[in-house]
Amino acid sequence: MDRGAVVRITDVAALAGVSPSTVSKALNDTGSLRESTRARVREAAERLGFVPDASARSLSARRSFTVGLLSTDSAGRFSLPVVLGAENALVGGELSALLATARHDPVREQHHVRALVARRVDGIIVTGRTTEPREPIKVPMPVVYAFAPSADAADASVVPDDALGMRLLVEHLVGLGRRRIAYVGGRVEQAASLVRYETLVAELAARDVELVGRPLYGDWSEQWGRRAVDQILAGAPGAGSGDLPVDAIVFASDQLARGGCDRLRERGLRVPDDVAVTGYDDWDVMSLASRPPLTTVDMQLERLGQRAAELLIAAIEGEPAHGVERLAPRLVVRASTLGDG
């Protein structure tokens, strides 16, 4: 066959010695064919460089072989790695992804949902910027929620296991001999702040270690991290006195922790010699740029997106999951607790 010529299904059929309908069944894994016949057809298609027509494949299987990726924000800090992980898994499953970003606008989200339904996608992965439960979308195809879980317990959701992440941090700090630990959270009404605090208190109590003072809540900014350090050290002796109220501060995010490290240094305190510091999220823009680099928790967001895609593919194939699946994070140890040595 001339190089550059269009290879047709009849060419594959002729080379394999079968009918065009048998080629279609073999390449689409349908019909009752011997495995040897399927193998012969695939070999012929590969030799000829045959590329099946996508629209014909869709009609044959009654599927579009596309999946919607709906992000409620603009694919930012948390949703972008989730989307990347999901896309990687979908490509491995021979599915294409259509990305739609709602930018935290309910009207825009509904527009994207209608557009995805009109395109007859096989399923939708919904992600967001926080781990707050969200209202489910109403569509006639499988949906899996990633990072931001559905408020409906019957839906399939994959979220980070924040409780396990905090247990890993406590085990690390207590193992280093830290016994006077304070907590700085973000917004008090958000699940990430509350779950991390409640787990911290329970894990410290199990080890006969008490939290110093009350939990301090603010926003998720470096500025609040700095102000929180001043509140924790209010009335404390100066640097070098050896009589500080805390020997570790657990911040609920890397952004808070970076601001906290800066303020501790400005007050003449050494991290971690005087006060150990931990963050959360492993956002390298913050965790690696901090002075010193932060010990933190990696929520493994790409793996979370991959797992959501795996659940969606299973649902498309008739095996849906239900409820919330919590994905294990990992502890990342750096100089803010171990020092430069």
**What does the pLDDT look like over 307-340, one tens digit per residue?**
999 999 999 988 999 999 999 999 999 999 998 8
Q: How far apart are CA 228 and CA 333, in angstroms?
A: 23
Please give the model's pTM, rounded to 2 decimal places. 0.79
Tell me if residue 32 falls in helix, strand or coil.
coil
Give the model's pLDDT for residue 238: 56
Q: Dihedral sign for Cα 158, 162, 164, 169, please.
A: positive
Let me know: does 92 contact 60? Beta carbons within 8 Å: no
pLDDT band at 140 (very low <50, low <70, confident <90, very high): very high
Residue type present at position 280 = Y
pLDDT tens digits along 259-275:
999 999 999 999 999 99
pLDDT band at 302 (very low <50, low <70, confident <90, very high): very high
Q: Mean pLDDT, to the nearest integer, of 228-247?
A: 79
pLDDT band at 282 (very low <50, low <70, confident <90, very high): very high
Tell me if residue 31 falls in helix, strand or coil.
coil
pLDDT tens digits along 168-201:
999 999 999 999 999 999 999 998 999 999 999 9
Lowest pLDDT segment from 46-50, 69-73, 310-314: 46-50
Give the model's pLDDT for residue 27: 76
Percentage of the chain modeled with pLDDT above 90:
68
Q: At what angle do helices 35-48 and 9-16 cross, to 10 degrees?
A: 120
Give the model's pLDDT for residue 45: 86
The strand pairing partners of 159, in sequence order, are 326
E strands along 136-247, which residues?
143-146, 156-160, 181-185, 216-217
Give the model's pLDDT for residue 42: 87
pLDDT band at 205 (very low <50, low <70, confident <90, very high): very high
Lowest pLDDT segment from 74-88, 144-158, 213-227: 74-88
Give the model's pLDDT for residue 150: 97
Give the model's pLDDT for residue 310: 93
The pair of three-digit structure tokens given for residue 39, joined into one six-digit string: 């193998």
Give the model's pLDDT for residue 104: 84
Q: Mean pLDDT, to the nearest integer, of 240-251?
A: 84
Q: Mean pLDDT, to the nearest integer, of 21-30?
A: 74
Give the model's pLDDT for residue 92: 74
Mean pLDDT, the chain, rounded, equals 89
Q: How far apart are CA 241 and CA 326, in angstroms?
A: 44
Is 59 a residue whose pLDDT tops 50?
Answer: no
